[in-house]
Structures are given as structure tokens and as C-alpha cells.
Amino acid sequence: MLGILAILLDPFLLIGFFLGILYLYLTATFDFWECRGVPFKKPTVLVGNFGSLLLFRKSQPEGVKEMYQWFKDERFFGAFRVRSPVLILRDPELVKSVCVKDFSHFLNRGIPINNAQDPLSGHLFNLEGHKWKGLRSKLTPAFSSGKLKRMFYLLGECGEELQRLIKEASRNVDRAVEVRELATKFTIDVIGSCAFGIQINALTDEESEFHRAAKTLSKPSYKATLWRMLRTSMPRLYRLLGVQIVDPGVTKFFMDVVSQMIDQREDNGTTRHDFMDLLIELKNKGTLENEVSNPRVCNDEDVQAAKEIVLDESTIAAQAFVFFAAGYETSSNTIAFCLYELALNQDIQDKTRREVCGAIEAQGGKLTYDAVQEMKYLDMVILETLRKYPPAPLLSRRCEHKYQIPNTEVELPVGIRVIIPIYGLHHDPTYYPDPSRFDPERFTEENKRTRHPYTYLPFGEGPRNCIGMRFALLQIKMGIISFLKDHRVEICGKSTVPIKFSRRSLVTTSEEGFWLAITPSS
């Protein structure tokens, strides 16, 4: 009793006591993998094994690649994010089990949502359980090839404006252009037109509110970026503090825009065949005409759950927001990375341009949806770009039921997170010889058949893969076609070779931009 009283009276002893308690709390889980006989990397107090990423010393791709190589002979291994144990997979068969075969055990991403503070966070990417399944079932038909074909004219209009600006840029004295900036404006225009039904003119109006919102989203504070990394390992603290990751001004802007567009469409009865039309149709009718649910995602119970989901203005705003936030930056970076590689590999660029021009000529000189679908080599070029520069360096799932790892005695408890190191798999020489080389031939039908399909995951896999994958690929193709149709890209004095990845961004992007020279192709 006297000893405890002495501690309470002595401030130094009191501080030491609390530091000791904190140390025990932070390290209490560090025997988790050892007890289960799983190989693991010894963690560091406060940061676990993610110190280089949490402290922004390395980019996400570099950090993920380094982790992937810690245990080269293992199918999986353990690590710690702060104090939370995580399992990192190296075996594509285990990736398949988590994403598809045993999907019911790994249904959720485990991303906590603060709806009161972050009303835009209740979107498809974050939702869990029946809410996710029901909403996914409702939204999947909106991304069918038929729906994309009907809104292709909107992408065509944005592509024509991009071509005009590319032509102007090629007349500059030094012809050096930051192509990601142009690509970003293009994708903002495309998504604004297709998702919100608004002609934003970001390509010509840098002061548009959408453009300002995009800049805010793509350059978050260190605090917001840190919380994005920490929220899955410290969900209780995240909720307790009521963290708001999306800027309040951005939240208000998107809520207001969606509310205005819904009122305008419903009052005027206008139709553009865009995603806003489809979301309003879902809001008013509950389903889309002539469409059925995705059987891979939903059983009868889930279909019933879908019927119970009401698409009110807040829900629509959240879906439109994630469509914008997840789509414009990843697509513009992919366009920029692709152009960068084509500038370094002129023979591949020439072959791609010949195909683009040939497909357009075959359609009477018009860039049609069918012409784009015929560009198979361009498909391979984009797939290789996404292999070398996957937008998300990793993906994770939370274990929802006790799970025994196949062919082992290791049992994962409920709540444990499983990490799939996409960047590591994409750069593993076992699957992709000489992985730093840009080689579209990796994606011929013959070569794809010889490779395990779960070593390529730019859009995730299984029922929880990216719902907007088709749209993203179409948007990326249109952006690259706009650059290559009448021009060529080349390395210039401002180009950074090799690329230096951004340490602050959670998506794969360049720290110093993508400066290339643009010249007429003939």
C-alpha cells in the first residue's frame, strides 16, 4: 500500500508506471504468431513491422515489396501493424482461397465507418455483410457492358476535348507536358459527366469545384493519410475520436451536387444514360429494368436483403463520391504510367499506335465503342501497366469466422486481418521473369494460361473485386487513344527516370510527376 502511495506522490515514478503499462499494452500481442508456429518478423514497439510506411520513409509499393521478400520460401507469414497481428500471403492458392473459395470467411475489409462525421464513408467499398451484398447486387447491373456502350458517347466527348488540348501542348516550344495533369482533368471530366451528369470542363477550367475537390482528395494531410493506414488496426480509437477523413468542404460539396442533380432529373425528366440516371432509377424503382442480380455475389437471402436497402440521397451521394474518388486518380495515374512506359519503349508505342489507327479506319474513321473493343494489343499494354504499377499495392480482408489455413494446423481467430501484397506478387520473378521490364507480351492468351491467375490482382478478385473495373479500363483506353491517335510521347529533360514513387500516397503514383515531350506523329 505504501509502495503504491509513493508512486502516486512521485511524478517521475507515476510517469514510469504509466509508460510501463503502455509498453505492456503495446507488446501484449507480440507472441501471437510465435504461439501458433507461424514464421514472423520481429516487431518494433509503436509501429510493429510497418514503421517505414507509417513514418512515410518508404512508398507503399516499396514497403509492400520489401515485406513480400522477408520469407521467400514460405506460403504465408505473420507481421504486426502497430500491435495488431496480420497474416501476409505469398501463395496464390491461398489468395484464391481468401478471395473466392472461402470468401464467406473473408467477406469484409474491416474498415470502420464514422457515418455521423463522414457521411460519404458509407459506400460500397467500406460496407459489410448484408448491407454490402444487397447494395452490390443492386449496383452490379449499372456496370454491364450494355450500360457502358450507351454512355460511350460521353467518354467520346471528353476524349475530343483532351485531343484538342494535346494538340495545343504539342505546339509549345519545349513540348514538355505533365501528362498526369492532363489525364487527371480528363478523368475528372469523364466521371463528372458519367456519374454526375455534369459537364465539368476540368480540362479547360482549373477553378471548377470538381477540380478543387480532386486536388484536396489527391493531396490529403499527413494526418488523414496516417489515419487511413491506422483505422483498421485501431478501429476503436478511430471511432472513439470520431475521425473525419474526408475534408468537410468536400463532403458538403458532393452532398449538395447529388441533391441538386436528383431534384433536377426528377423535376425535368431528363435522361442521359449515365450512372446518375441508373442510381435514380434504383432509388425510385428498387431495380434496373431488364437486369438480374449477380449470382456470384447473392443467394436468396441476400436478394431479400437487397430489397430492404433504400437508396436515399445520402446513399447515392456516398456511391457517387467513391466512384469519383476511387476512379479519377487511379485511372489518371494508370494513363500516365502507360504513357511513361511507351515513351521509354518506342517500338511498343509504334505498334500500339498502328493498332489504334487501324481500328478507327476500319470503322470509317470514327472512334466507336466497337473500335475500342478491337484494340487487343492496347489491352495488353494496359494490363502490363497495371501489372507493373498496380493502383493499390495491397488489399486486405478481415477473418469473420475461425479459419484453418488449408493444408496446415494453423487456425486464424475471428478478427484477424489477412493482407495480400499485390505489388509483391506482380513483381515476383517466379511469375513474371525480369519483372522490371515492360513487356505486354506477358498478356497474350497463351502466356496468361501458363500463369496462376491469382498472381495478377490490379482490381482484386472474387465477389468483392472492383465493381467499376470495366468502366475504368474503358476510361483508361480512351485516355491513351487520345494521346496516341495523332501524337507520340517521348522522354524529355524533365522526365524522371526511373520513376520515384510517392511516399505519402496510398495509391501507386509518382512523387515528381510525369513529364514527357509530346510531338505530332507525322
Q: Annotated binding site, which residues? A: 466
386: exposed, middle or buried (C-beta count within 10 Å: 0-12, 13-18, 19+)? buried
Give the span between the Cα atoms of 141 and 303, in whole angstroms: 14
End-to-end, the C-alpha distance of the chain in Å comes to 90
SS3 227: helix
Contact 141, 291 (CB under 8 A): yes
DSSP 171-217: TSSS-EEEHHHHHHHHHHHHHHHHHS-----TTT-TT-HHHHHHHHH
How far is residue 407's CA from residue 397's CA, in Å, rounded to a whole number?
20
Give φ, ψ of 56 to 5 degrees. Answer: 60, 35
Is there a cis peptide before residue 406, judged by omega within 30 degrees of 0? no
Distances (CA, A) of 345 to 401, 468, 484: 48, 29, 14
Q: Identify the helix (H) or strand (E) that includes residue 418.
A: strand 417-420
Binding site for heme, by residue number, is: 466
Provide the 3-class DSSP secondary structure of residue 517: strand
The span from the CA of 40 to the CA of 85, in Å, is 10
Q: What is the Rg, in whole angstroms, of the alpha carbon atoms belonging to the chain?
A: 24
Pairing mode, if any, of strands 417-420 and 84-89?
parallel
Strands 487-491 and 515-520, bridge-based pairing = antiparallel
* CA neighbor of 396 nearest in space, from 511, 252, 235: 235
Positive or negative, the Cα torsion across 495, 501, 507, 508?
positive
* Of 185, 167, 187, nearest in space to 175 by CA: 167
Q: What is the spatial distance between Cα 186 and Cα 329, in angstroms, rounded to a whole number?
A: 11
